[in-house]
Amino acid sequence: MATDSRTKSEIVVQGISASQGIAYGTVFVYLQSDVEVPSYQVDEAKRIEEVARFDKALLTTRQQIAKIQDEVEKNLGKQEALIFDAHLLVLEDQALIGETIREFETTGRNIETCFNKVSSRYIQAFSEIDDEYLRERAGDIRDVAQRVLQNLLGQAENSLSKLAEKRIVVANDLSPSDSASIDRSAALGIVTDSGSKTSHAVIVARSMKVPAVVGVRDLTKRVKTGDWLLIDGYDGLVIVNPSEQTLFRYGKIQSEKKSFEQRLMDANRQPAVTLDGVAVTLQANIEKVDEVALVKEYFAQGVGLFRTEYLFLNSARIPTEQEQFVAYKTVVEGMAPLPVVIRTLDLGGDKPMAGNPELFSKEANPFMGFRAIRFCLEHTEIFKDQLRAILMASTHGKVRLMYPMISGADELARANAVLAECKAELKAKGQSFDEKLEVGAMIEIPSAAATTDLLARTCDFFSIGTNDLIQYLLAIDRGNDRIAHLYEPTHPAVLRTLKHVVDEAHRAKVPVSVCGEMAGDPVLVPLLLGLGVDALSMTPPLLPAVKYLVRAMKMTDARDLAAEALMLSSAEEIYAKCEAFCRSRIKLD
């Protein structure tokens, strides 16, 4: 079969690198179709039975997911099993369940129809969110909804648990349940037509340590079960019918990569110090409480960004002050004595709470809409609950508080006034907190960047959110496929803005970190450090490559690189120089 495949023409398809590694083998095409839902009127005399049928399906689904979770914990570990906590939460979502019952009581249509209608509305709401991580949470609801519908209709669940032989799984997409059921001993790799770096299929693939490439459009229509495929999980390439020359070349690449990855992990245990003796602070971004273990595993020097909105978005209701306090305390104690930067809610606009639609309205331009600090300053009771919880957690370790989406000094002053009220309220109750709690602001709006000197008067630190800052500076919707290529981190306007922020902040003796995607890109790290950035915060698995580069370069060279880049007018030319700088210091051999 292998010989026959290589008589066909080689086809190279570009996708998105999702889980690193190289795999070669035959394809198993997995096609999952949506459940077909019948619609009919339920006799009034049988409506109590219909609701009972719904309750039974929810219970059965809960038992199925709990079983999958147990298997994942046994096979992949506790961290990976936590994926299914979100699924169990969907089944306990009283808003989703309540709306389904109300729809049934109003229309009298069968419960499958009502549940499908309501769950589809929730899926649509999450699918339209700009944040990539949250968009993927629509998959949680879709996966659970499909299971509930299958149980209501008495259909067998789909499974990838019994692959006949070692195969590369090619699918349009994989639900979390699909991903978790894949036979670890038989799956060589995973390729999906859709998906992103934050999809559950990717999370499971990384846990299984199998190569994965996502976003390979229509591959399921271009290959069939039994075809030969090579996955390049490093560069996001999928090669159909690879030639003998290609296989030989990738054999060498695989050997080199494995050796290099081991060197990365070895370097990651060492201090982040440049060749000329300059220490660099490398921290981690987290969304969930349970990610503390991952932060420690990768030797991060603290948490540079704790995105607290995920506590709210994974719940059908707004978490109480006490619930938030417990979450923040757990992270802070887990990281002590290292610092934890807790960002207040970046909620609203493109990240609404599905369970609280009354707090939000549909917006034509959510990027520049009612979100983050704007939402908090209008809903002060929600804001104050969070601020008090953060303040109370500050007695359990090193906490820094940070506001998102600050547009200017007036907005910062209003936020600080609410914080002062919270401090006074806690003092009146005799509740202790860190009186010297450091307060900072995200620099992600051009107006904030332009007035850094004014913000520095009342800020202890800054953190630059490059994702939004670049988007706003260049007027580029990074989620728009037609113009995504114009999203250029090395655009001269971006570099000059970063330089201005760092210089003004340092003039006021205020440290600056970067927590956007640029911070975890080894090609751009020397440029950021050369511009004077004091700390970088990134997704934990990106730390080894960044630390390796830091330890392989001189800070004086990085400053020269930044000075040269500031003189150039082409984003492409600047990136090329950064790439050359990186390549000259990271050797595979």
Residues, the chain, total? 589
Residues 59, 47: Cα–Cα separation, whole Å: 19
Say how many Å lie between the first and final Cα of the chain, rounded. Answer: 34
3-state secondary structure of 378: helix
Confirm if 90 and 140 have CB atoms less than 8 A apart. yes
Count of CB atoms situated within 10 Å of the CB of 74: 10
CA-to-CA dists, residue 143 to 11, 21, 339, 399, angstroms: 32, 27, 37, 37
Angle at 359 between CA 356 and CA 363, to 5 degrees: 110
CA-to-CA dists, residue 376 to 101, 313, 356, 404, 447, angstroms: 32, 15, 15, 10, 19
Ordered DSSP codes for 442-492: EE-SHHHHHTHHHHGGG-SEEEE-HHHHHHHHHT--TT-TTTGGG--TT-H
Residues 394, 333: Cα–Cα separation, whole Å: 10
Residues known to be catalytic: 200, 515
Label the pairing between strands 237-240 and 228-232. Answer: antiparallel
CA-to-CA dists, residue 51 to 55, 98, 99, 112, 156, angstroms: 6, 11, 13, 10, 22
CA-to-CA dists, residue 306 to 66, 95, 234, 434, angstroms: 28, 27, 28, 18
Residues 418, 439: Cα–Cα separation, whole Å: 13
Residues 546, 536: Cα–Cα separation, whole Å: 9
Residues 6+ apart with CB under 8 A from 405: 346, 371, 372, 373, 374, 442, 444, 445, 468
